[in-house]
Amino acid sequence: MAGLKYLLFLGCVIPYRIASYETSSRKVLKKLGVKLVEMPEFNCCGLPIDGVNHDAMLMLAARNLCLAEQQKLNILTLCPGCAGTLRKVNRSLQEDKKLKERVNGYLKEIDMEFKGGKIAVRHLIQALVEDVGLEKIKDAVVKPLTGLKVAEHNGCHVLRPAKYIGFDNPENPVLLKRLIEATGAECLDYMYETDCCGAPIIGVNDKIPLYLAGDKLRNIKAVNAQALITACPLCHMMFDINQPRIERLLSERFGIPVLHYPQLLGLAMGFTPKEMELEELRVDATKLLNAT
């Protein structure tokens, strides 16, 4: 699998608040032999303002896709929101000639043109499964996390809408589970596993997402999972940074550490907890490490 190389699309949420996801991803990918090229002059993927103006979302996404076409490199994103949006727009523009014409009409203003069919967009989980491969990941594990029991939360846009994403089975996703099992840890099922965390509507209504994420944490605790594994900066924010707030609102104690998948994989690959920036997590994960 030599020679894997991507253009890294960082998005907004990760540099804003979730640096540990970026650091752990970069270190793990480097050790797996994946090369990341920094994406110059990129902008927001567009998703956050799709509700304000759909065309604005299309243009922001299309501009990013044009940048990747210029570099002739496939895009890798750590954020499912960015991945889903860029993937969907990339595909729509390739399939819908009228749309492509309209978008290119706008892009002329900034001397850009979407050509199409040149590049692909990958989310980290998809790249690990489909490009790097489970076998290679298993081979890279030197310190299996045997005995550790965790639960997973994919992040909706890794899987949905199925028509545009075409990765894993959104009704019963298993590929993040396989990635977790590759580290030696056990991945448990729980109720309402595929439900959204609610984070996107924070700011419009905070209570619904807090109750929703709280319900998920309760179901995760009910199966005695020692940690929750995510692959989305927004979901991570919801379950980790907001966990104390959820606990106060529901008068319940969860104390479930929330790790980014690359942090878990990194530990199994022999990185230290400090290298994986576990101390940056809001919910203490040190007890978890003593357990392995």
The least CB distance from residue 5 to another protein, in Å, is 16
Least separation, in Å, of the C-beta of 266 and another protein?
15
Site for another protein in 44-63 (CB under 8 A): 44, 47-56, 59-60, 63
Q: Which is nearer to another protein, 61 or 150 (CB)?
A: 61
CA 110 to chain centre: 30
Q: Which of 6, 7, 10, 28 binds another protein (CB under 8 A)?
A: 10
Q: Is 42 among the residues that bind another protein (CB under 8 A)?
A: yes
Query: Amino acid letter at 48?
Result: P
Give the interface segment with another protein, choosing from 175-183, 195-203, 248-256, 284-292 (CB under 8 A): 195-203
Q: Which two tokens stand for residue 250?
A: 């529901």
Give 10 or 145: the residue with its C-beta nearer to another protein: 10
Contacts of 209 (CB under 8 A, 6+ apart): 197, 198, 199, 201, 202, 238, 242
Q: Report how far residue 62's alpha carbon sits from residue 68's, in angstroms, rounded to the nearest whole number.
A: 10
Among 196, 259, 267, 269, binds another protein (CB under 8 A): 196
Given CA atoms 217, 130, 120, 75 in this order, what sign does their dihedral have?
A: positive
Cis peptide before 161 (omega within 30 of 0): yes
Which residue in 71, 66, 86, 117 sits closest to 10, CA to CA?
A: 86
Question: Can you tell me which residue has the tokens 């499964």?
Answer: 129
Contact flag: residue 219 with another protein (CB under 8 A)? no
| 272 and 247 Cβ atoms separated by less than 8 Å | no
Residue 201 lies near another protein (rule: CB under 8 A): yes
Q: Helices (H) and strands (E) in the chain — how many of each?
A: 14, 8
Q: At closest approach, how far in Å is the CB of 83 from another protein?
A: 13
Cβ neighbors of 268 (< 8 A, separation 6 or more) are: 141, 142, 143, 144, 145, 182, 183, 184, 185
Nearest to another protein of 84, 184 (CB atom): 84
Q: Of the ranges 142-150, 206-214, 240-248, 256-264, which one interacts with another protein (CB under 8 A)?
A: 206-214
Give the nearest distance from C-beta 121 to another protein in angstroms: 17
Least separation, in Å, of the C-beta of 156 and another protein?
4
Least Cβ distance, residue 127 to another protein (angstroms): 19
**Contact at 8 Å (CB) between 258 and 240?**
yes
Residue 49 C-beta: closest distance to another protein, Å: 5
Number of residues that bind another protein (CB under 8 A): 61
Give the DSSP letter of residue 125: H
User: What mask, x for binding another protein by CB under 8 A, covers residues 136 to 175?
Assistant: --------------------xx--xxxx------xx----
Q: What distance in Å separates the CA atoms of residue 154 and residue 190, rounded to the nearest whole number?
A: 13
Q: Which residues bind another protein (CB under 8 A)?
A: 10, 12-13, 15-17, 19, 22-23, 26, 38-44, 47-56, 59-60, 63, 96, 99, 106, 109-110, 112, 156-157, 160-163, 170-171, 192, 194-196, 198-201, 203-205, 207-209, 211-212, 215
